[in-house]
């Protein structure tokens, strides 16, 4: 499968015409605000520049409903935070976080061009509302072309995310449990779950659409693609993986028969809250589906998608994950299998994830 975008290459430095300075790179360490390095060696802290379109809160329409070959009726929400935990304060223009609703998924953090939002070890996030960078932007009038140049310079600079082995098993587990608990409290639990997964896949660089929950015509929860290939994803947070596999088989049949997508181009994915116990019968079913129907279903826990988002890995780990890694069932075998296929950094993320999720 080649449908995942290539890793983002280091971009050339971007000159800020008004400042007369060139942004060299922006880096962010786990739990820290960004650090912006200029060509002359000076550093600035990532502070909120009060974006008029607030990408930490709202996605662009074309990102929320990208044009796909598998044109499922889309759930069109552009909200970045399905937990409704972030909104722009109309007075200050900076995001305000509702701490008890924030599960620490890291989506708003990853979308901020200035790295002005950081994760907290306690699980939430914090916004750097100091005016340092905003004052620069103010001179240029927000929403003007010059502001765009400034923001794009930040966004397009070479970003690096330093993720040392900081994410403990309990940290990941707590984020997943909080997310599942908050989703259960939403009026539209299923819609929220599919939208969360859609947002996470989009953040990994995939063109992804969330289906309309309850629409039996479209069926699939999330469809995504890149190039000629199509990903079909079922979201299963009620721990009924068996049912998710059945639904996914129906999705594949519809994609092949109605949309004419060759089966070989389909990447079947189930995102679960927790991996089933290794003795679960579902592993045998997955093996049968792989061997008899030639469909290698990937089962990925929500915690893994969180980790990829926090680590800024892009979709590489999903691509590199061996399709049958889950069939071995045992936690140690899973990790060993994954280690063989991933580089140290990604493997480290994954092993932490699997260490956290039984």
Strand ordering across the sheet containing 222-226: 207-210, 222-226, 229-236, 266-272, 298-301
Listed in sequence order, the residues at least 6 apart from 233 whose beta carbon sits closer than 8 Å to its beta carbon are 197, 201, 220, 221, 222, 223, 224, 269, 270, 271
User: Considering only residues 26, 59, 80, 241, which one is a binding residue for ligand SF4 as defined by CB under 6 A?
Assistant: 80
Residue 223 in the binding site for ligand SF4 (CB under 6 A): no
At its nearest, how many Å lie between ligand SF4 and the CB of residue 94?
Answer: 6
Binding-site size for ligand SF4 (CB under 6 A) equals: 28
How deeply is 24 buried, as exposed, middle or buried, from its count of CB atoms within 10 A (0-12, 13-18, 19+)?
A: middle
**Reduced to 3 states, what is the DSSP secondary structure of residue 117?**
strand
Residue 270 in the binding site for ligand SF4 (CB under 6 A): no
Listed in sequence order, the residues at least 6 apart from 113 whose beta carbon sits closer than 8 Å to its beta carbon are 49, 51, 55, 151, 152, 154, 155
Residue 172 in the binding site for ligand SF4 (CB under 6 A): no
Q: Which CB sits closer to ligand SF4, 71 or 89?
A: 89
Cβ atoms within 10 A of the Cβ of 285, count? 15
User: Considering only residues 102, 176, 220, 241, which one is a binding residue for ligand SF4 as defined by CB under 6 A?
Assistant: 102
Contact mark string toward ligand SF4, 103..142, x via CB under 6 A: xxxxxx---x-x-xx-------x-x---------------
At its nearest, how many Å lie between ligand SF4 and the CB of residue 91?
Answer: 14
Q: In whole angstroms, what is the distance from residue 52 CA to residue 36 CA?
A: 21
Residue 50 in the binding site for ligand SF4 (CB under 6 A): yes
Q: Which CB sits closer to ligand SF4, 308 or 325?
A: 308
Residue 51 in the binding site for ligand SF4 (CB under 6 A): yes
Binding-site ranges for ligand SF4 (CB under 6 A): 48-51, 54-56, 80-81, 83, 85-86, 94-95, 97, 102-108, 112, 114, 116-117, 125, 127
């Amino acid at each position: 499968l080649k449908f995942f975008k290539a890793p983002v290459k280091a971009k050339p430095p971007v000159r800020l015409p008004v400042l007369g300075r060139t942004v060299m790179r922006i880096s962010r360490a786990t739990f820290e605000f960004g650090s912006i390095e200029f060509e002359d060696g000076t550093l600035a802290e990532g502070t909120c520049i009060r974006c008029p379109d607030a990408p930490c809160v709202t996605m662009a329409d074309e990102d929320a409903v990208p044009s796909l070959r598998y044109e499922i009726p889309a759930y069109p929400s552009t909200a970045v935070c399905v937990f409704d935990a972030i909104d722009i304060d109309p007075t200050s223009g900076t995001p305000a976080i509702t701490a008890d609703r924030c599960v620490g998924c890291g989506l708003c953090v990853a979308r901020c061009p200035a790295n002005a939002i950081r994760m907290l070890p306690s699980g939430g996030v914090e916004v750097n509302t100091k005016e340092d960078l905003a004052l620069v932007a103010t001179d240029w009038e927000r929403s003007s072309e010059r502001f765009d140049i400034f923001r794009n310079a930040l966004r397009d600079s070479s970003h690096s995310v330093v993720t040392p082995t900081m994410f403990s098993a309990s940290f990941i587990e707590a984020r997943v449990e909080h997310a599942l608990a908050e989703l259960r409290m939403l009026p539209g639990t299923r819609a929220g779950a599919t939208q969360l997964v859609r947002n996470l896949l989009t953040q990994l660089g995939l063109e992804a659409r969330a289906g309309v929950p309850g629409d039996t015509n479209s069926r699939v929860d999330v469809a995504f693609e890149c190039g000629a290939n199509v990903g079909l994803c079922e979201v299963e947070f009620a721990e009924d993986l068996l049912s998710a596999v059945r639904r996914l088989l129906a999705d594949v049949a519809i994609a092949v028969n109605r949309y004419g997508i060759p089966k070989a181009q389909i990447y079947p994915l189930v995102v679960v809250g927790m991996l089933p116990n290794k003795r679960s019968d579902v592993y045998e079913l997955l093996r049968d589906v792989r061997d008899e129907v030639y469909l290698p279903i990937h089962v990925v826990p929500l915690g893994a998608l969180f980790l990829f988002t926090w680590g800024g890995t892009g979709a590489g780990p999903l691509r590199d994950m061996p399709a049958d890694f889950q069939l071995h069932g045992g936690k140690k075998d899973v990790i060993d299998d994954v280690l063989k296929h991933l580089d140290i950094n990604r493997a480290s993320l994954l092993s932490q994830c699997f260490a956290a999720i039984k």
